[in-house]
Amino acid sequence: MPFPSPWSALFLAVVLLWLPATRPWALAPLAVAWGWAWANGVIDPVALAAPALLLIAAACVRPASGAALRAAGHVLFVALAAALFLHLLPGFHNPQVIAPAPLSPGAVPFGMYLNLDKPLVAFWVVLVLAPPMAGASARSTTAAALLAMAAAILACLGVALALGIVGWAPKWPGTGWIWLINNALLVTLAEEALFRGYVQQQLATRWRRHAWGGPAAVAVAAVLFGLAHYAGGWQWVLLAGLAGAAYGTAYRYGGLAAAVLAHLGLNAAHFGLFTYPMRAVF
């Protein structure tokens, strides 16, 4: 199934975010994607309030702003990020590209939408706050990503198997490539930008004078990431918290790229090798 046309521009915008030389140009294809989406009825004019409010938040958090204005900007961003992640803001008609159906026997039905709202969070964090996108070297970034990925796969999928949430179910459905591209370019980047590039980075900066500051920032971001999965029950809070600790460690030593790669690796192993997203009865 081909992607709806606005997403070709959105994917290009995300790719441009990663390199310092191309990052300033990322807003151009993002604007094209939004204009294309408006023309295709994917968004209504009221949806333009989201980027407008994000621009206000960006202006408020500038270092030149006063402390009170910066605090207000961060509060505004957090509120907007939560609303965008939960798809609460009006005007978005995100298209469904995978119709709900079990991917393996005994699994709950899985469906997928392509979201235009949630990725805005990643653009804001990367362009406004400029968190570290990689580690000190390509080697350190790769090592951090692979070690965190292995730890997350062993811990999270091991616990999920022990709890009976998933079972061994190797597969690669025809829609798998749509899932993979969306996960690689949009889902993992948005989630890691918010929980690691924003929450963890802000806490680590605030606590940088303390020896416990870095590990504590990893832990707090991981707990919040776990709580964000409360809809799946305590089991998913636990699993997401474990995963968040791995992603946070990857971010600490390998930047956002390492966290995204670790996140994508766990998601891909879960999708391709185990019950996805979980057993209907466990």
Q: β-strand 96-101 against 110-113: which pairing, if any?
A: antiparallel
> To the nearest whole percent, how much of the chain has pLDDT over 90?
96
pLDDT tens profile 212-256: 999 999 999 999 999 999 999 999 999 999 999 999 999 999 999
Summarize the confidence of residues 120-130 as an average pLDDT: 98
3-state secondary structure of 215: helix
Q: Is a pLDDT exceeding 80 seen at residue 282?
A: no
Q: Is a pLDDT exceeding 90 seen at residue 92?
A: yes
Q: Is residue 280 part of a domain?
A: no
Q: Is residue 278 part of a domain?
A: no
Q: Is a pLDDT exceeding 80 seen at residue 136?
A: yes
Q: Is residue 45 part of a domain?
A: yes
Summarize the confidence of residues 129-138 as an average pLDDT: 96
More confident residue, 202 or 7: 202
Domain count, the chain: 1
Of the pLDDT bands very low, low, confident and very high (cuts 50, 70, 90), residue 96 is very high
**pTM attached to this predicted model:** 0.96
Q: What is the pLDDT of residue 3?
A: 60
Q: Is a pLDDT exceeding 60 seen at residue 2?
A: no
pLDDT tens profile 33-57: 999 999 999 999 999 999 999 999 9
Is the CA virtual torsion 236, 241, 243, 244 positive or negative?
positive
Q: Is residue 204 part of a domain?
A: yes
Q: Is residue 281 part of a domain?
A: no
Summarize the confidence of residues 71-88 as an average pLDDT: 98
Please give the helix or strand (H or E) that residue 110 lies within, else none: strand 110-113
**Tokens standing for 259?**
């966290």
Query: What is the spatial distance between Cα 44 and Cα 27, in angstroms, rounded to a whole number?
Result: 20
Q: Is residue 185 part of a domain?
A: yes
Of the pLDDT bands very low, low, confident and very high (cuts 50, 70, 90), residue 1 is very low
Q: Is a pLDDT exceeding 90 seen at residue 5?
A: no
Mean pLDDT, all residues of the chain: 96
pLDDT tens profile 101-117: 999 999 999 999 999 99
Range of the domain at 87: 6-273
Query: What is the spatial distance between Cα 177 and Cα 221, in angstroms, rounded to a whole number?
Result: 30
pLDDT tens profile 145-177: 999 999 999 999 999 999 999 999 999 999 999
Q: Is residue 279 part of a domain?
A: no
Q: Is residue 69 part of a domain?
A: yes
